[in-house]
Amino acid sequence: MNELARLADSALLLLGHGSTENPDSSAPTLANAEQIRKQGIFAEVQCAFWKEEPGFSISDYLFESDTIYAVPNFISEGYFTREVIPRELGLEGPTTRRNGRTIHYCDPVGIHQSMTRLLASRARELAPDIPVQDSALIIVGHGTGLNAKSTEAIRVQVDRLEALGLGYGQILDAYMEEAPFIADWDQLTPLPHVLVVPFFIADGLHSYQDIPVLLGIESAPTAAASQRDVFRHNPVHIRGRSLWYSRSIGTDPSLTDVILDQVHDFRSTHA
Amino acid sequence: MIAPSRILSLLTERLRSAPFHLGQVRVAAGSDGRVELRHRDDAALDSAELQSFHSPNHAREIAQYDAAGEYRPLKGTPNLKRGWRMDLTGPEETRVALDIFYPAALALWAAQTDDRLRIIPLSQTLERQTGMYRYARTISPEGARELTRRRCLEGCSRRPLWSDLPSPAPGPDEIPLLCPEACSFFVAEARVVAKTEFEAKTAPPPSAGD
Ligand code: SF4
């Protein structure tokens, strides 16, 4: 039996944060689920959310398969992946068996090795024709004392991107709320081309409004209807540089591959 | 091997005695085994007066915002917009659409039908909260009842099975919309109520002359 055929009797549960304010937060998770469903790899594919429906705690009812792979569509380890999800799903560790059913709890998508390749290809697509040696690639996150793990996740990605030898003049991490501050992007690098990729699962206020304001490509945040326009003006010539600004990495259609990679990794690690 | 879907077979069975309702959605049998969904308040309208959709995934577009354009994070809120109809091929597509209109509703109904539904008392749901929601557990019994009345009985089409407040039993033409456990919206509001109660208790009594 090949690897994919082995999953045909199993189910995939994608766990997202969701939002009570707008549909942007859950949109990538729902889109990924739809994409994977179409591929027919799993018998069932379902989503559950912390702030939307169906809630985490009733996700058990969604499935008719005996084996479920639960993958947090979160950018890093932290409060949600370590505490909220295990508690709400009643998990006892990497594998939980109850009532004739087995639930395998995989690592969050954001920490998978293949996330690095996704960042690299996103950067390439963002500005395919610029000389990479004259370019700085900045991976930007939120960064607060509250979730040190998310900062660490970005530092790890930057180290891995460096190791890929992509040729960029610089690869840097920067944050909205801690040093190095993304607002100082032109101080962080002297290079003429600057690529900024937000390391978030979904587009939302941070990527539509807050980061563009910090970069200086938007004035004060407004409740603009066409928030996606912010990604359509690349490059922006500002502070004497060319600035390319990407959508959040989690919105990339190839994130489905990272999700599947997490399931495969779980299977090989816990075989 | 996976057993044939229990949810789908229950739905297929129920479709034989359509029309029926799930929340604000009316499900009716069309010709050639097709299924038509529309808002239950649009039942009497001519099809030509409604905007027609042919893919079950269009349910997301319909259910995402209310008629005033406000986002609907809690799909049980009885403000589903009107003016549409969905023409679907059969039980599979109907299931996809209904799962979007009312997430998990069919699964919970199947669990109840098979006697597998576990009802979680409110105290248990609140007790296990952590972080900023830990505070929700301090809500008074009266505050919780009042919130259940407002948020659930008046503000949601689902039936809070975990509450002892009487809620209308589903009619014979309805698939019940079940709520076996207080949702995250309820917990978030319980926290706000608990905080307000606490502040009211600890507020200094108004001094003379105030
Ligand atoms: S807890 Fe109340 S508001 Fe939430 S789904 Fe249940 S009935 Fe609706």
Angle at A120 between CA A104 and CA A40, to 5 degrees: 40
Mean of pLDDT values over A19-33: 92
The confidence band for A179, taking pLDDT boundaries of 50, 70 and 90, is very high
Q: Which of A23, A51, A55 sits opposite B64 (nearest CB)?
A: A23
| Chain segment B174-197, per-residue pLDDT in tens | 999 999 999 999 999 999 999 999
First to last CA, chain B: 74
Q: What is the mean pLDDT of residues B58-66?
A: 97
Residue A263 contacts residue A114 (beta carbons within 8 Å): no
Query: Closest Cα partner for B147 from B183, B174, B171?
Result: B183
ipTM value for the complex = 0.92
- Alpha-carbon torsion B98, B101, B103, B109, what sign? negative
Cis? peptide before A54, omega within 30° of 0: yes
Nearest ligand 1 atom to the CA of B159 is 7
pTM metric for this prediction: 0.92
Decide if A61 and B107 are in contact by the 8 Å CB cutoff.
Answer: yes
**Residue A233 confidence class, pLDDT cut points 50, 70, 90:** confident
Mean pLDDT of A130-153: 86
Q: Which helix (H) or strand (E) holds A171?
A: strand A170-175
Average pLDDT over residues B91-105: 97
Contacts of A84 in chain B (CB under 8 A): 130-131
**Bridge partners, residue B39, by sequence:** B25
pLDDT score recorded for residue A262: 96
Region A238-262: what's the mean pLDDT?
Answer: 94
Give yes or no for B103 touching A (CB within 8 A).
yes
3-state DSSP assignment of residue A190 = coil
Cα first-last separation, chain A? 15
Q: How many angstroms separate the CA atoms of B9 and B14, rounded?
A: 9
CA distance, residue B205 to nearest chain A CA (Å):
36
The residue ranking higher by pLDDT, A70 or A4, is: A70
Q: Where are the alpha helices (DSSP H) in A164-254?
A: 185-188, 205, 211-215
pLDDT at A232 over 80: no
- CB–CB contact B71 A65 (8 Å): no
B180 Cβ below 6 A of ligand 1: no
d(C-alpha A163, C-alpha A93), whole Å: 32
What is the per-residue DSSP string for chain B? -PPPPHHHHHHHHHHTT--EEETTEEEEE-GGG-EEEEEGGGTTS-GGGSEEE-STTHHHHHHHB-TTS-B-SSTTSS----SEEEEE-SHHHHHHHHHHHSTTHHHHHHHHHTT-PPPPPHHHHHHT--GGGGGGGG--HHHHHHHIIIIIIIT-SSEETT--S--PPPPTTB---EESS--HHHHHHHHHHHHHHHHHHHSPPPPTT-
Does B181 contact A at CB distance below 8 Å?
yes
CATH number assigned to the domain with residue range A111-251, chosen from the 4 options 3.10.520.10, 3.20.20.140, 3.40.50.1400, 2.130.10.10: 3.40.50.1400
Angle between helices B105-113 and B91-101 (to 10 degrees): 110
With cut-offs at 50, 70 and 90, classify the pLDDT of residue B1: very low
Chain B residues closer than 8 Å to A54 by CB: 103-104
Distance from CA of A132 to the nearest CA of B (A): 41
Please answer yes or no on whether A64 and B111 come within 8 Å at the CB atom.
no
Q: Where in chain B is the domain with CATH 3.30.70?
A: 122-202
What is the distance of C-alpha A159 from the center of its chain? Answer: 17
Percent of chain B with pLDDT over 70: 95
Residue type at A117 in one-letter notation: R
pLDDT above 70: percentage of residues in chain A = 92
A139, β-bridge pairs: A173, A197
Task: Summarize the confidence of residues B164-177 as an average pLDDT.
Answer: 92
Atom of ligand 1 at shortest range from CA of B182 = 1
pLDDT band at residue B209 using 50, 70 and 90 as cut-offs: very low
- Of the listed ranges A19-28, A87-96, A137-146, B47-56, the one predicted with least confidence: A137-146
CA quadruple A233, A167, A136, A211: dihedral sign: positive
**CB B57 to CB A65 under 8 A?**
no
> Model confidence at B203, in pLDDT bands (50, 70, 90)?
confident
Report the C-alpha gap between A62 and A254 in whole angstroms.
25
What pLDDT does A204 receive?
A: 78
pLDDT in tens, B15-52: 999 899 999 999 999 888 899 999 999 999 999 999 99
Given a contact cutoff of 8 angstroms between Cβ atoms, the answer to whether A176 and A211 are in contact is yes
What is the mean pLDDT of the segment spanning A216-220? Answer: 81
A52 touches chain B (CB under 8 A): yes
Residue A226: pLDDT band with limits 50, 70, 90: very low
Higher pLDDT, B30 or A158: A158
Contact status of B69 with chain A (Cβ, < 8 Å): no
Show Cβ contacts of residue A233 under 8 Å, excluding neighbours closer than 6 positions: A217
Report yes or no: B126 and B181 within 8 Å, Cβ to Cβ.
no
Judge whether A75 and A110 are in contact, CB under 8 Å: yes
CA of B173 from ligand 1 middle (Å) equals: 22
Is B107 in contact with A65 (Cβ distance < 8 A)? no
Q: Is B158 in the pocket of ligand 1 (CB under 6 A)?
A: yes
Q: Which residues of A touch B108 (CB under 8 A)?
A: 58, 61
Of B1, B73, B111, the CB nearest to A61: B111
Percent of chain A with pLDDT over 90: 76
Beta carbons within 8 Å of A34's beta carbon, 6+ residues apart: B57
CATH code of the region A2-109+252-269: 3.40.50.1400
Q: Which two tokens stand for residue B162?
A: 């975990």
Cβ-proximal residues to A205 (8 Å cutoff; 6+ apart), any chain: A221
User: Same topology for domains A2-109+252-269 and A111-251, yes or no?
Assistant: yes
User: Which residue in the block uniquely carries the two structure tokens 């009266």?
Assistant: B142
pLDDT score, position A105: 98
Write out the residue limits of the CATH 3.30.1360.190 domain(s) in chain B: 4-113
CATH number of B122-202: 3.30.70
Alpha-carbon distance of B205 to B209, in angstroms, equals 12
**DSSP conformation class of A53:** S
Question: Which atom of ligand 1 is least distant from the CA of B158?
Answer: 7
B4-113: CATH number: 3.30.1360.190
Mean pLDDT over A16-39 rounds to 93
Binning pLDDT at 50, 70 and 90, where does residue A221 land? low
DSSP A36: H
| Domain assignments of chain A as residue spans, ordered by start | 2-109+252-269, 111-251
CA distance B58 to chain A (A): 13
pLDDT grade for A106, boundaries at 50, 70 and 90: very high
